[in-house]
Structure 1
Amino acid sequence: MSAQTTLILLKPDCVSKGLCGEVLKRFESAGFVIRGMKMIQLTDEVLKDHYSHIADKPFFPEVANFMKSVPVIALALSGDNVIERVRTLLGPTDSRKADKGTIRGDYGGDMMVNVAHASDSPENAEAELKRFFKADEIFAR
Protein backbone atom coordinates (compact mmCIF):
# COMPACT_ATOMS: atom_id res chain seq x y z
CA MET A 1 0.00 0.00 0.00
CA SER A 2 1.09 3.56 -0.60
CA ALA A 3 0.27 6.70 1.37
CA GLN A 4 -1.51 9.29 -0.75
CA THR A 5 -3.40 12.55 -0.32
CA THR A 6 -6.49 13.28 -2.39
CA LEU A 7 -8.98 16.06 -2.87
CA ILE A 8 -12.62 15.66 -1.90
CA LEU A 9 -15.25 18.33 -2.54
CA LEU A 10 -18.40 17.93 -0.50
CA LYS A 11 -20.86 19.25 -3.06
CA PRO A 12 -23.78 21.64 -2.57
CA ASP A 13 -26.28 18.80 -2.07
CA CYS A 14 -24.13 17.35 0.73
CA VAL A 15 -23.79 20.73 2.43
CA SER A 16 -27.44 21.81 2.03
CA LYS A 17 -28.81 18.47 3.26
CA GLY A 18 -26.59 18.51 6.36
CA LEU A 19 -24.71 15.34 5.38
CA CYS A 20 -21.15 16.62 5.84
CA GLY A 21 -20.74 15.12 9.31
CA GLU A 22 -21.98 11.72 8.17
CA VAL A 23 -19.68 11.72 5.13
CA LEU A 24 -16.69 12.84 7.23
CA LYS A 25 -17.51 10.12 9.76
CA ARG A 26 -17.42 7.48 7.02
CA PHE A 27 -14.06 8.75 5.76
CA GLU A 28 -12.55 8.80 9.25
CA SER A 29 -14.06 5.40 10.12
CA ALA A 30 -12.30 4.03 7.04
CA GLY A 31 -9.01 5.18 8.55
CA PHE A 32 -8.43 8.29 6.45
CA VAL A 33 -6.85 11.40 7.99
CA ILE A 34 -8.11 14.92 7.33
CA ARG A 35 -5.07 17.07 6.55
CA GLY A 36 -6.94 20.14 5.35
CA MET A 37 -10.53 21.36 5.30
CA LYS A 38 -12.26 24.59 4.37
CA MET A 39 -15.56 25.92 3.11
CA ILE A 40 -15.34 27.89 -0.12
CA GLN A 41 -17.65 29.55 -2.62
CA LEU A 42 -16.67 28.33 -6.07
CA THR A 43 -16.27 30.79 -8.93
CA ASP A 44 -16.73 30.43 -12.69
CA GLU A 45 -12.95 30.69 -13.14
CA VAL A 46 -12.20 27.83 -10.71
CA LEU A 47 -15.01 25.69 -12.13
CA LYS A 48 -13.83 26.14 -15.73
CA ASP A 49 -10.37 25.04 -14.64
CA HIS A 50 -11.58 22.16 -12.45
CA TYR A 51 -14.05 20.89 -15.06
CA SER A 52 -11.93 21.74 -18.12
CA HIS A 53 -12.70 18.30 -19.57
CA ILE A 54 -16.41 19.26 -19.86
CA ALA A 55 -16.26 23.08 -19.95
CA ASP A 56 -17.18 23.11 -23.66
CA LYS A 57 -20.17 20.78 -23.26
CA PRO A 58 -23.73 22.14 -23.48
CA PHE A 59 -24.53 20.91 -19.96
CA PHE A 60 -21.57 22.68 -18.31
CA PRO A 61 -23.56 25.81 -17.30
CA GLU A 62 -25.94 23.56 -15.35
CA VAL A 63 -22.99 21.92 -13.57
CA ALA A 64 -21.42 25.32 -12.82
CA ASN A 65 -24.67 26.77 -11.50
CA PHE A 66 -25.16 23.75 -9.24
CA MET A 67 -21.60 23.89 -7.91
CA LYS A 68 -21.96 27.64 -7.18
CA SER A 69 -25.41 27.32 -5.58
CA VAL A 70 -24.05 26.68 -2.07
CA PRO A 71 -20.47 26.87 -0.73
CA VAL A 72 -18.67 23.53 -0.82
CA ILE A 73 -16.26 21.93 1.64
CA ALA A 74 -12.84 21.06 0.28
CA LEU A 75 -10.95 18.27 2.04
CA ALA A 76 -7.38 17.09 1.76
CA LEU A 77 -7.66 13.46 2.85
CA SER A 78 -4.74 11.07 3.36
CA GLY A 79 -4.28 7.36 3.78
CA ASP A 80 -3.01 4.20 2.16
CA ASN A 81 -4.34 4.03 -1.41
CA VAL A 82 -6.81 6.77 -0.45
CA ILE A 83 -7.70 7.67 -4.05
CA GLU A 84 -8.97 4.21 -4.99
CA ARG A 85 -10.46 3.48 -1.57
CA VAL A 86 -12.40 6.78 -1.39
CA ARG A 87 -13.84 6.22 -4.85
CA THR A 88 -14.97 2.74 -3.79
CA LEU A 89 -16.51 4.14 -0.60
CA LEU A 90 -18.34 6.80 -2.63
CA GLY A 91 -19.62 4.42 -5.32
CA PRO A 92 -20.09 5.22 -9.01
CA THR A 93 -20.39 8.86 -10.13
CA ASP A 94 -23.99 8.23 -11.17
CA SER A 95 -25.71 7.82 -7.81
CA ARG A 96 -28.57 5.92 -9.47
CA LYS A 97 -26.08 3.12 -10.20
CA ALA A 98 -24.47 3.15 -6.76
CA ASP A 99 -25.14 0.30 -4.34
CA LYS A 100 -26.79 1.01 -1.00
CA GLY A 101 -24.08 1.19 1.62
CA THR A 102 -21.92 3.46 -0.55
CA ILE A 103 -22.09 7.18 0.16
CA ARG A 104 -23.64 8.00 -3.21
CA GLY A 105 -25.99 5.02 -3.03
CA ASP A 106 -27.25 6.20 0.34
CA TYR A 107 -27.37 9.96 -0.24
CA GLY A 108 -26.89 10.83 -3.92
CA GLY A 109 -29.52 11.66 -6.49
CA ASP A 110 -28.04 11.37 -9.98
CA MET A 111 -24.91 12.01 -12.05
CA MET A 112 -24.43 15.59 -10.83
CA VAL A 113 -26.17 15.55 -7.45
CA ASN A 114 -23.87 12.91 -6.02
CA VAL A 115 -22.60 14.19 -2.65
CA ALA A 116 -18.89 14.53 -3.43
CA HIS A 117 -16.19 14.92 -6.01
CA ALA A 118 -13.06 12.79 -5.51
CA SER A 119 -9.81 12.89 -7.45
CA ASP A 120 -9.49 9.93 -9.81
CA SER A 121 -5.70 9.60 -10.09
CA PRO A 122 -2.53 10.63 -8.26
CA GLU A 123 -1.80 13.19 -10.99
CA ASN A 124 -5.27 14.74 -10.75
CA ALA A 125 -5.15 14.68 -6.95
CA GLU A 126 -1.91 16.68 -7.01
CA ALA A 127 -3.32 19.27 -9.45
CA GLU A 128 -6.67 19.50 -7.67
CA LEU A 129 -5.11 19.89 -4.22
CA LYS A 130 -3.04 22.80 -5.57
CA ARG A 131 -6.19 24.32 -7.11
CA PHE A 132 -8.10 24.36 -3.82
CA PHE A 133 -5.41 24.58 -1.10
CA LYS A 134 -2.35 26.71 -0.52
CA ALA A 135 0.72 24.75 0.60
CA ASP A 136 0.36 26.00 4.19
CA GLU A 137 -3.28 24.86 4.39
CA ILE A 138 -2.43 21.14 4.26
CA PHE A 139 -1.03 19.85 7.52
CA ALA A 140 1.05 16.80 8.44
CA ARG A 141 -0.24 14.50 11.17
Structure 2
Amino acid sequence: MAVKIRGLDKAIEKLEKVGGRGALKRPMMKAVAHLHDKIAKYPPATAANSPGNGYSWYERGFGTRSRTGMAWPTSETLGRRWSHEVDGDGRRGVVGNNASYGPYVQSAEKQAAFHARDGWLTDEQVVEKEQRKVVGFFDDEVRDLTQ
Protein backbone atom coordinates (compact mmCIF):
# COMPACT_ATOMS: atom_id res chain seq x y z
CA MET A 1 0.00 0.00 0.00
CA ALA A 2 1.24 3.48 -0.79
CA VAL A 3 0.88 6.23 1.79
CA LYS A 4 1.66 9.80 0.84
CA ILE A 5 2.85 12.49 3.25
CA ARG A 6 0.75 15.63 2.90
CA GLY A 7 2.63 18.93 2.79
CA LEU A 8 5.76 17.51 1.23
CA ASP A 9 5.20 18.83 -2.30
CA LYS A 10 6.06 22.43 -1.38
CA ALA A 11 9.19 21.42 0.53
CA ILE A 12 10.35 19.24 -2.38
CA GLU A 13 9.76 22.05 -4.85
CA LYS A 14 11.81 24.45 -2.71
CA LEU A 15 14.61 21.90 -2.26
CA GLU A 16 14.89 21.26 -5.97
CA LYS A 17 15.11 25.02 -6.62
CA VAL A 18 17.89 25.67 -4.11
CA GLY A 19 19.81 22.40 -4.15
CA GLY A 20 18.80 20.39 -7.19
CA ARG A 21 17.41 16.89 -7.21
CA GLY A 22 20.23 15.47 -5.10
CA ALA A 23 19.15 17.68 -2.23
CA LEU A 24 16.20 15.36 -1.59
CA LYS A 25 18.33 12.36 -0.70
CA ARG A 26 19.38 13.33 2.83
CA PRO A 27 15.94 14.36 4.16
CA MET A 28 14.28 11.37 2.47
CA MET A 29 16.76 9.02 4.17
CA LYS A 30 15.94 10.63 7.51
CA ALA A 31 12.22 10.37 6.79
CA VAL A 32 12.15 6.68 5.89
CA ALA A 33 14.48 5.74 8.76
CA HIS A 34 12.21 7.61 11.17
CA LEU A 35 9.03 5.98 9.84
CA HIS A 36 10.73 2.57 9.86
CA ASP A 37 11.66 3.01 13.52
CA LYS A 38 8.13 4.04 14.48
CA ILE A 39 6.21 1.28 12.66
CA ALA A 40 8.57 -1.53 13.71
CA LYS A 41 7.81 -0.99 17.40
CA TYR A 42 5.60 -3.63 18.98
CA PRO A 43 2.78 -2.61 21.29
CA PRO A 44 2.91 -4.04 24.83
CA ALA A 45 2.24 -7.77 25.06
CA THR A 46 -1.29 -8.81 25.96
CA ALA A 47 -2.84 -11.86 27.60
CA ALA A 48 -2.75 -13.50 24.16
CA ASN A 49 1.05 -13.59 24.51
CA SER A 50 1.18 -15.45 27.82
CA PRO A 51 0.51 -19.00 29.01
CA GLY A 52 -2.20 -17.76 31.34
CA ASN A 53 -4.36 -17.26 28.26
CA GLY A 54 -5.77 -20.80 28.32
CA TYR A 55 -4.87 -23.74 26.11
CA SER A 56 -2.53 -21.89 23.72
CA TRP A 57 -0.79 -18.56 23.33
CA TYR A 58 1.32 -16.72 20.78
CA GLU A 59 4.93 -16.24 21.84
CA ARG A 60 6.50 -13.30 20.03
CA GLY A 61 9.52 -14.35 18.02
CA PHE A 62 8.46 -18.00 18.01
CA GLY A 63 4.79 -18.69 17.26
CA THR A 64 2.03 -20.65 18.93
CA ARG A 65 2.65 -22.81 21.99
CA SER A 66 0.21 -24.96 23.92
CA ARG A 67 -0.07 -26.28 27.46
CA THR A 68 0.36 -29.82 26.10
CA GLY A 69 3.85 -28.94 24.86
CA MET A 70 2.83 -28.70 21.22
CA ALA A 71 4.45 -25.82 19.38
CA TRP A 72 4.09 -24.26 15.95
CA PRO A 73 7.05 -22.02 15.05
CA THR A 74 5.19 -19.61 12.78
CA SER A 75 6.71 -16.26 13.74
CA GLU A 76 8.37 -14.37 10.92
CA THR A 77 9.60 -11.74 13.41
CA LEU A 78 7.46 -8.94 12.00
CA GLY A 79 9.41 -6.15 13.69
CA ARG A 80 12.73 -7.23 12.17
CA ARG A 81 11.20 -7.63 8.70
CA TRP A 82 10.69 -3.89 8.23
CA SER A 83 13.11 -2.31 5.77
CA HIS A 84 13.46 0.98 3.96
CA GLU A 85 15.08 2.33 0.82
CA VAL A 86 15.40 5.58 -1.07
CA ASP A 87 15.71 6.03 -4.84
CA GLY A 88 19.00 7.41 -6.13
CA ASP A 89 17.69 10.96 -6.53
CA GLY A 90 15.81 10.92 -3.22
CA ARG A 91 12.40 11.59 -4.80
CA ARG A 92 10.90 8.32 -3.55
CA GLY A 93 11.30 6.58 -0.22
CA VAL A 94 9.76 3.23 0.67
CA VAL A 95 9.22 1.54 4.01
CA GLY A 96 8.05 -2.05 3.69
CA ASN A 97 7.68 -5.43 5.32
CA ASN A 98 7.82 -8.88 3.76
CA ALA A 99 6.32 -10.95 6.58
CA SER A 100 3.45 -12.89 5.03
CA TYR A 101 1.05 -11.85 7.78
CA GLY A 102 2.27 -8.23 7.98
CA PRO A 103 -0.75 -6.69 6.21
CA TYR A 104 -3.14 -8.35 8.67
CA VAL A 105 -1.22 -6.80 11.54
CA GLN A 106 -0.22 -3.33 10.29
CA SER A 107 -1.90 -2.42 7.00
CA ALA A 108 -4.77 0.04 7.30
CA GLU A 109 -6.55 -1.83 4.50
CA LYS A 110 -6.28 -5.34 5.94
CA GLN A 111 -5.60 -5.09 9.68
CA ALA A 112 -7.52 -7.66 11.73
CA ALA A 113 -9.76 -6.07 14.36
CA PHE A 114 -8.03 -7.88 17.22
CA HIS A 115 -4.66 -6.42 16.19
CA ALA A 116 -6.17 -2.92 16.22
CA ARG A 117 -7.67 -3.63 19.64
CA ASP A 118 -4.29 -4.85 20.90
CA GLY A 119 -2.57 -1.59 19.92
CA TRP A 120 -0.83 -2.41 16.64
CA LEU A 121 -0.44 0.79 14.63
CA THR A 122 -1.20 0.71 10.93
CA ASP A 123 0.93 2.21 8.19
CA GLU A 124 -1.56 5.06 7.79
CA GLN A 125 -1.66 5.77 11.53
CA VAL A 126 2.13 6.00 11.72
CA VAL A 127 2.29 8.33 8.72
CA GLU A 128 -0.52 10.50 10.09
CA LYS A 129 1.12 10.70 13.52
CA GLU A 130 4.63 11.40 12.15
CA GLN A 131 3.71 13.60 9.19
CA ARG A 132 4.77 16.88 10.78
CA LYS A 133 8.15 15.43 11.80
CA VAL A 134 8.77 14.04 8.30
CA VAL A 135 7.90 17.33 6.58
CA GLY A 136 10.25 18.96 9.08
CA PHE A 137 13.21 16.96 7.74
CA PHE A 138 12.62 18.52 4.31
CA ASP A 139 11.98 22.01 5.71
CA ASP A 140 15.23 21.77 7.70
CA GLU A 141 17.14 20.85 4.54
CA VAL A 142 15.67 23.88 2.73
CA ARG A 143 16.72 26.07 5.65
CA ASP A 144 20.24 24.60 5.70
CA LEU A 145 20.68 25.16 1.96
CA THR A 146 19.43 28.75 2.03
CA GLN A 147 21.51 30.00 4.95
TM-score (norm 2): 0.26
**Higher relative contact order at CA 8 Å, sep ≥6: structure 1 or structure 2?**
1
Structure 1 or 2, whichever has the larger Rg, is: 2
The structure whose residues are more often helix, as a share, is 2
TM-score (norm 1): 0.27
Identify the structure with the greater strand proportion. 1
